[in-house]
Structure 1
Amino acid sequence: MNRHPGGEEQTLHLLEHIELRRGMKALDLGAGEGETVRLLKSFGLNACGVDLFPRSSDVQEGDFLNLKYASESIDLCISQCAFFVSRDQAKAISECWRVLKKGGYLLLSDLDPGNLAEIMERTGFTILQKEDQTALWREYYLEALWRDSFCCEDYKLLQKEYKGKKIGYTMVIGRKEDDISN
């Protein structure tokens, strides 16, 4: 089973909305087994991943809420189905802003309590693309339930925390255009 809704096809869908250039520095946040890192490398990107519990040599141990990368050192941050579980999407997005170069991209698909794009805009990102992909999440979640996957326990906790609120799944692509103070 894929570790995020849509698997590689969804990752390619995210990437088709931006211009990839060989040698771009890319960072996969919540990279797990490193599938996305390997895909980014196949496009000629200088890619690495960060995860609290890395399961691949392509992924470094680290916390995307406190990245060990210099400010304005990355061209592309990508995260799929990870920021929400951190319980602090705003901090994760802010860290992406910090490490991204001007003109850098944040490609995000994640559970969304309804304000994911707003958080990105408030942080300073220009939204280039936004799609409701809740149907993709439902398909993924049902498959996870069927297979008794690890993600189900996390989602059950989130359901309790957000009881009564509708949680969707949104793809948002943003670009760092200018300084956050503007």
Structure 2
Amino acid sequence: MTELLDIFRALADPTRLRIIALLREMELAIGELAAVLDQSQPRVSRHVRILVDAGIVERRREGSWVFLRITRDGAVGDTIARAGEWPYAPREALVIAHDARRLAAVRTERAAVAERYFAEHAPQWDAIRSRHVAESEVEAAMLAMMHNRRLGHLLDIGTGTGRMAEIFAPTARRVTALDRSPEMLRIARAKLSGQGLPVDLIQGDFLDLPMAGASIDSVVIHQALHFAQEPDRVIAEASRVLRGGGHLLVVDFAPHEDEDLRALAAHARLGFSDAQIRGWFASAGLLLENTETLEGGTLAVKLWLGRRRSDEDQPPVTQEGQGQRKRLAA
């Protein structure tokens, strides 16, 4: 009973109920919560700490920012999922509705930040896009290659603006979008927050993924591998978190000699060959199932689809093989 009592004690406050209502809509930082509630940050922080201690709310750090979200697992997730059915008094319902209107201002500010970022970086991105086939064709090819494959819990490594999470979310059970840059995650959050997609945005490094081994059903690395000094380690780390039979889709450039991309966009690698990817896949326990080349412009875009080896991929052991193993063991 202790856990349940802690939950109800933590919820027994008007401000904390307002916080729950807001976090059910979207992840928020302490400062954003304070602005919507029109309360000081120290006061809001105290209420948040009580909710965190009760296991109702989770903190997640992104650079200097800390974002809050409702805990989704266990008794807490089931209880808060029914918050829309809670019997608010008319006056309480008016306060909740007022907060929702103020929350719209947070969404607007996030969108404005994203627009400013896009405006500042548009010339750089346009210069890169002009070198290869249209993004719409790349996305169509990716969706076709993953069609009829179980996406389950999909991990988008190097999510950037969140576009891959956006296009795959409708057919995945859950999407985790990871990026090293807190700024890019804020852009992705602004882009995805109003679409109701099941996406978790987390900060992390593609060389040290913050998730357990064999916990992910599918992984996408779209135009991120060329930033890696050690791309083989990135693929090995992606393979580590994949369940047996899970898929890894890598999308990047074929080998090229466009040195401008090193200075223009900090590319550490100028594309990859099929032989390189095949070798790295094999070393990481992945079977290369499919490849595709999209020509257009001066850069060719490549798609490589690998599958994590499972027990079914191991050849059956014959009686002769069993006897040989026994002799070796002896």
Q: Residue 66 of structure 1: SS of its match in structure 2?
A: coil
- Is the CA contact (8 Å cut-off) linking 1:25 and 1:75 kept in structure 2? yes
Cross-structure match for 1:174? 306
Runs of 5+ consecutive residues of structure 2 not aligned to the other structure: 1-124, 190-198, 254-270, 315-330
Name the CA distance, whole Å, in 1 between partners of 2:202 and 2:137. Answer: 24
RMSD: 2.5
1:12 aligns with 2:147: no
Q: Which residue of 2 aligns with 1:128?
A: 289
Q: Per-residue deviation at 1:78? A: 0.4
In structure 2, relative to structure 1, the CA distance for the partners of 1:137 and 1:107 (3 Å cut) is farther
TM superposition score normalised by structure 2: 0.41
Asked whether the equivalents of residues 137 and 169 of structure 1 are also in contact (C-alpha less than 8 Å), the reply is no
- Higher strand proportion, which one? 1
Q: Is the 8 A contact 1:78 1:108 kept in 2?
A: yes
Deviations along 1:123-172, one digit per CA (max 9) or x if unpaired, are 22111111234x34736xxxxxxxxxxxxxxxxxxxxxxxxxxxx64311
Size of the alignment, in residue pairs? 150
Match of residue 188 from structure 2:
56
Opposite residue 165 of structure 2, the aligned amino acid is V
What code does the residue aligned with 2:218 have? L
Task: Answer 1 or 2: which has greater helix percent.
Answer: 2
Give the whole-Å Cα distance in 2 for the aligned partners of 1:95 and 1:27. 12
**Which secondary structure does the structure 2 equivalent of 1:76 belong to?**
strand
Work out the CA distance in 1 between the residues paired with 2:249 and 2:233: 16
The structure having more radius of gyration, on CA atoms, is 2
Is 2:209 aligned against 1:81? no
Matched, 1:39 2:167: yes
> CA separation in 2, counterparts of 1:137 and 1:170?
13
Give the Cα–Cα distance (whole angstroms) in 2 for the partners of residues 87 and 64 of structure 1.
11
Query: Identity over aligned residues, as a percent?
Result: 23
Compared CA separation, residues 80 and 137, structure 1 to 2 (3 A) = farther
Cα pair 1:110 1:171 within 8 Å, conserved: yes
Query: Are the counterparts in 1 of residues 153 and 172 from structure 2 also a CA contact under 8 Å?
Result: no
Specify the SS of the correspondent of 1:138: coil
User: Relative to structure 1, is the Cα distance of residues 106 and 76 closer, same or farther in structure 2, using a 3 angstrom cutoff?
Assistant: same
Paired with 1:90 and 1:21, the residues of 2 have a C-alpha distance of 25
Question: What SS is found at the alignment partner of 1:175?
Answer: strand
Q: For residue 251 of structure 2, what is the aligned residue in structure 1?
A: 109
Question: 1:86 & 1:80 partners in 2: Cα distance?
Answer: 12
In 2, are the aligned partners of 1:132 and 1:170 still within 8 Å (CA)? yes
1:30 and 2:158 correspond? yes
SS in 1 for 2:145: coil
Question: How far did residue 21 of structure 1 move?
Answer: 3.9
**Does the Cα contact within 8 Å between 1:8 and 1:36 map onto a contact in 2?**
no
Unaligned runs of 5+ in 1: 140-167
